[in-house]
């Protein structure tokens, strides 16, 4: 039987007295307040609330993936958490529309009061990036100082501590590396995939050379493009070459995890691989949505301040534009289509493998996707 409790009042439950008294307009301290400063504060406070919810959802994902075995029903929970993050991201981007109802002149009415505060000091934003798997060396720097240099000491310690902790990228990579179907019985996915790639590339070359509508120059150009495609595929089948791509930062995901991700994508119609496919898809969505938000934010900043420096001392729009282009975590998931082959070229699964992929397979100890 539930323990009885006092009647709950709406405003008390939501702590509205604290929440609605938290908009302190700096422009009103020495004169009439700038009208649009209220909008500016509420939009950014709302961002921080949504950031808190994203971090909460990420904690739920970590609980699912941080184990030696991930059961199918648990994987569905992780996907639900991630899909909620995607929905929140849409709201984050839509909030820019609200902020853009403020004109540049409206912003100038109170902008100088904000210096040197800026979005660079959002500890929760950095926590989200680090928890996703953003590495220090992958960040686009706006000064020679650390990205945490403008935080308070407590925020700096909190953010930097997550650089050393397990992150979502690491958990997903480890989960992929445990995928059992790359070699299963007599079936070797990687050998079968390589043969299919060779057939596809040979067929593509024949189609180009035998196309009567192409000129010699056009044939040469398309053959050149095909050779570049062949080079990308060749790196997949040479571990040393692939390791060099990782060293150069052109790839991040491990070779074993990449093999598993390709298996999941190419055979996603098999029942047991459908949830893993959805997980990989939503990770790419999250990465793209943050890129979209950063890009929209950069455009808004350019509209508001032009080529002026930001309140935090960065180059404003230019810095934000470069961050939108470079600060990615799951770029390998988005670029996976580079290595896809047509369904017609997929190696047919042996009957015993197809049976296991139809939910007959059960994980043994210390194995599982």
Count Cα neighbours of 179 within 13 Å in the Cβ-side half-sphere. Answer: 26
| 318 within some domain | yes
Mean pLDDT of 107-133: 92
| 21 within some domain | no
Phi, psi of 349, deg, nearest 5: -75, 135
Q: Report the pLDDT value the prediction gives residue 225, as an integer from 0 to 100.
A: 92
For residue 315, is pLDDT > 90? no
| 325 within some domain | yes
Identify whether the C-beta of residue 298 lies closer than 8 Å to the C-beta of residue 142. Answer: no
| 1 within some domain | no
Most confident of 37-41, 237-241, 247-251, 335-339: 37-41
The two three-digit tokens of residue 82, written as one number: 């991630």
- Residue 78 has a CB neighbour count (10 Å cut-off) of 25
Q: Report the pLDDT value the prediction gives residue 3, as an integer from 0 to 100.
A: 74
| 72 within some domain | yes
More confident residue, 323 or 311: 323
Q: Is 225 helix (H, G, I), strand (E, B) or coil?
A: helix
For residue 187, is pLDDT > 80? yes
| 230 within some domain | yes
Residue 346: give the domain boundaries.
28-360
Question: How many structural domains compose the chain?
Answer: 1
Q: At what angle do helices 189-209 and 216-236 cross, to 10 degrees?
A: 170
| 334 within some domain | yes
Domain with residue 350: its CATH number is 1.20.58.480
| 367 within some domain | no
């Amino acid at each position: 039987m539930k323990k009885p409790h006092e009647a709950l009042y709406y405003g008390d439950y939501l702590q509205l007295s604290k929440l609605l008294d938290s908009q302190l307009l700096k422009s009103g301290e020495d004169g009439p307040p700038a009208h649009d400063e209220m909008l500016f504060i509420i939009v950014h406070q709302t961002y921080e609330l949504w950031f808190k919810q994203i971090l909460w959802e990420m904690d739920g994902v970590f609980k699912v993936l941080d184990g030696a075995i991930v059961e199918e029903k648990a994987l569905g929970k992780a996907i639900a958490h991630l899909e909620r993050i995607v929905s929140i991201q849409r709201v984050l981007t839509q909030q820019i529309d609200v902020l853009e109802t403020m004109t540049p002149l409206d912003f100038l009415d109170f902008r100088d009061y904000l210096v040197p505060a800026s979005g660079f000091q959002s500890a929760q934003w950095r926590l989200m990036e680090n928890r996703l798997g953003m590495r220090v060396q992958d960040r686009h720097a706006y000064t020679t100082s650390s990205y945490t240099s403008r935080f308070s000491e407590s925020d700096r310690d909190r953010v930097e501590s997550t650089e050393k902790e397990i992150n979502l990228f690491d958990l997903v990579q480890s989960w992929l590396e445990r995928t059992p179907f790359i070699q299963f019985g007599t079936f070797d996915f990687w050998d079968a995939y390589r043969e299919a790639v060779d057939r596809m590339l040979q067929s593509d070359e024949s189609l180009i050379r035998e196309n009567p509508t192409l000129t010699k120059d056009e044939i040469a150009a398309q053959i050149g493009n095909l050779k570049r495609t062949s080079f990308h595929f060749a790196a997949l089948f040479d571990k040393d070459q692939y390791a060099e791509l990782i060293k150069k930062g052109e790839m991040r995901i491990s070779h074993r995890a990449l093999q598993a991700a390709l298996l999941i994508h190419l055979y996603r119609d098999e029942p047991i691989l459908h949830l893993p496919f959805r997980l990989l898809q939503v990770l790419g969505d999250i990465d793209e949505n943050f890129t979209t938000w950063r890009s929209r934010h950069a455009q808004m900043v350019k509209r508001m301040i032009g080529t002026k420096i930001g309140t935090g001392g960065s180059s404003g729009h230019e810095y934000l534009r470069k961050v939108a282009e470079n600060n990615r975590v799951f770029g390998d998931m988005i670029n996976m289509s580079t290595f896809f082959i047509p369904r017609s070229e997929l190696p047919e699964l042996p009957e015993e493998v197809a049976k296991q992929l139809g939910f007959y397979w059960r994980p043994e100890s210390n194995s599982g996707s």
